[in-house]
Amino acid sequence: MRQLLIVSLLLFVPVGCSYNDNGLVNVEATRSVKETTDHLESLLKEKGMTIFARINHAEGAKRIGKELRPTELLIFGNPKAGAPLMQCKQAMGIDLPLKMLIWEDENGQVWLTYNNPEHLANRHKLAGCAEKVIKTVAGNLTKLTHKVAK
């Protein structure tokens, strides 16, 4: 029985995904930064999310004569999730809307990185408030990033 439980839990651990103690979730992607960001933006729009900004950090660095590996930031959200969180703690607005960084490391591997919603809930001491929203957002981000990463 114990082995069955362990195997079952391992099936839910995403491959190519890491969780840092700093609250960041990193998921390996198979496409270029631009292709990954394009795909992410398209899926977010399909799901009715608002895209607030798409920032190309590498282009910004180039404008001042600096070199940076491909790095893009997508800022997105939906008030259906954000408003209840801010009703719990208005300071949650510093971490909303959500952000996802798509970047290439020194080995050419592309990553999607985002703040773990459960870490944000702990940061803002949301225990007992909007827990269902946090779990839903966390689950949706996991599904979304793994779909984009393929």
Say if pTM beats, i.e. exceeds, 0.75.
yes
Q: How confident is the model at residue 2 (pLDDT cuts 50, 70, 90)?
A: very low
Contact 126, 88 (CB under 8 A): yes
Q: What does the pLDDT read at residue 14?
A: 42
Q: What does the pLDDT read at residue 88?
A: 95
Q: What's the CATH code of the domain at 31?
A: 3.30.310.70
pLDDT tens digits for range 104-127? 999 999 999 999 999 999 999 999
In-domain check, residue 72: yes
In-domain check, residue 11: no
Over residues 6-11, the mean pLDDT reads: 34
Contact 148, 39 (CB under 8 A): yes
